[in-house]
Amino acid sequence: MWYITCSGSARTLEISQQIQSSTYLYSIHKVIQQYSMSASSKRIKFVSISLPILYGNDAYKLTPEMRKPTTPPDHTHEWTVFFKPVLGDIDLTPLIKKVTFKLHETYENPVRTVEHPPYRVTETGWGEFEIIIKLHFQPGVDLGINEKNFQIFHALKLHPYNPQQPKRENGEVHSVLYDELVFNEPTERVFEILTRKPINLIPYELSDPDKRDQEYIRPDEIDELGRLDVYIQKIKEEIEHQVVQYKDLEQQKFALTQ
């Protein structure tokens, strides 16, 4: 609504019109902004997109040189727990606000928060325990991301899985696991973030031959699929065997009731 102040001056009328015009333009901007947020929050039906990730820990036996004045005398290892995309050059900050690592309650400040990559926490200790890695996604209002927080449970490893395998220098142990974050019917904003680069492509070769048990490459996936096929076939055979046994027992039961 246009209005004229008591002074009745033309200058006052001009200022009043400018204020009303600015208010109108601001309102239009807010409507467009809200529409953009709403559009980016829309989910893409019948679409799933995955993000290959690695998580786990590296551990080393504490040497006298590695010990600090604050290191408890009963601590035997230094370890680092981490979360990262398979491809190291992928920036997840538009998607992930922070990553929290929940350590054993005996640690000071057991919930550690990391807001920028690399997402990792280094500590010392003597025992193995479960660590909860929680991914906190960016707020949906700002970026149109409506995904829920995601939890990963990792068993901290300080000792080799197979005690008979050759021991490494400094008791080096790497427990690295592969997984995928799967977004079913992602929002348009999430889809745009995850398709900027070919993030779901797993490399065929190691970046460093000495990091064989610290990286995940395509042959590992092929080998894993082969092992899964073998186990699936074994389970099918076991089920068929159990079905045959069940039918035999049913026939024996029927014969006894006659």
Q: Please state the domain count of the chain.
A: 3
Domain that holds residue 140: 48-202
171: which DSSP letter?
Answer: G
Q: How far apart are CA 205 and CA 87, in angstroms?
A: 12
Q: Is residue 212 part of a domain?
A: no
User: Distance between terminal CA atoms of the chain?
Assistant: 96
Alpha carbon distance 80, 53 (integer Å): 17
pLDDT of residue 141: 61
Q: Answer whether residue 129 is part of any domain.
A: yes
The yes-or-no verdict on residue 5 having pLDDT over 60 is no
Please state the rounded mean pLDDT for residues 236-245.
93
Q: Are residue 235 and residue 192 in the same domain, yes or no?
A: no
Same domain, 13 and 75: no
The conformational region for residue 40 under phi > 0 = left, psi -120 to 50 = alpha, else beta, is alpha
pLDDT band of 31, cuts 50, 70, 90: very low
Residue 191 lies inside a defined structural domain of this protein: yes
Q: Please tell me whether residues 70 and 159 are part of one structural domain.
A: yes
Are residue 97 and residue 13 in the same domain, yes or no?
no
Task: Answer yes or no: is 209 within a domain.
Answer: no
Q: Are residues 33 and 129 in the same domain?
A: no
Same domain, 190 and 245: no
- The CATH number assigned to the domain holding 159 equals 2.60.40.1970
Starting at the earlier edge strand, list the strands of the sheet with 96-102.
Answer: 111-114, 96-102, 130-137, 150-155
Q: Which two tokens stand for residue 105?
A: 């309650």
CA angle 110, 133, 174 (to 5 degrees): 95
Residue 1 within any structural domain of the chain: no
Considering the domain architecture, whether residues 229 and 134 belong to the same structural domain is answered as: no
Quick one: 43 exposed, middle or buried, by C-beta within 10 A (0-12, 13-18, 19+)?
middle
Are residue 36 and residue 160 in the same domain, yes or no?
Answer: no
Do 90 and 117 form a contact (C-beta atoms < 8 A)? no
pLDDT digits (tens, 9 = 90+) for 112-155: 999 999 999 999 999 999 999 999 998 876 566 777 889 999 99
Q: Which of 95, 88, 86 is nearest to 193 (CA)?
A: 95
Tell which of 159, 175, 202 closes a domain: 202
Helix (H) or strand (E) holding 247: helix 218-256
Amino acid at 61: K
Say if residue 54 is in the same domain as residue 162. yes
pLDDT of res. 43: 86
Category of 52 on φ-ψ map: left (φ > 0), alpha (ψ -120 to 50) or beta: beta
Stated as kind and residue range, the H or E segment containing 143 is: helix 140-143
Q: What is the pLDDT of residues 179-200, one digit of tens each?
A: 888 888 888 888 888 888 765 5
Does residue 154 lie within any of the structural domains? yes
Give the pLDDT mean for 149-171.
81
Shared-domain flag, residues 95 and 178: yes
What predicted TM-score, i.e. pTM, was given to this entire model? 0.66
